[in-house]
Structure 1
């Protein structure tokens, strides 16, 4: 699951279904986006799906 850093989903494109969110993700990837994923919104009042960037891989020191 992708974390939203406790931000509301204001300003994010809401998709009604997982399929629509994944179609949007696929279009973004086709246009050169990297590390993006569809996820279900944790905000109860939204109840939709969003597309966002996945976290960068952690590096060990």
Structure 2
């Protein structure tokens, strides 16, 4: 699971299903995006799916 550091989902595109989020992720990858993942929102009011960047690897 991706942590959002307590940030709200304001400004993020909401997807109703995981499949919709994965389709959006694939389109972004085709355009050159890297290290992104689909994840379920932890906000109780939203409970949708979002696409976001993965955390940077620790060195």
Q: TM-score of the superposition, structure 1-length normalised?
A: 0.95
Across the aligned residues of Structure 1 and Structure 2, the Cα RMSD in angstroms comes to 0.4
Q: Number of residues paired by the alignment? A: 59
1:40-55 paired onto structure 2 within 5 Å: 40-55=40-55
Q: Distance in 1 between matches of 2:39 and 2:52?
A: 8
Which segments of structure 1 move beyond 4 Å, counting only runs of 4 or more?
none
Give 1:50 deviation, angstroms. 0.1
Q: Which has the larger radius of gyration?
A: 1
> Given the two structures, how large is their TM-score scaled by the length of structure 2?
0.98
Q: Which structure 2 residue ranges, 5 or more long, are not aligned?
A: none
Tell me what 2:27 maps to: 27
Q: Which runs of 5 or more residues in structure 1 are unaligned?
A: none
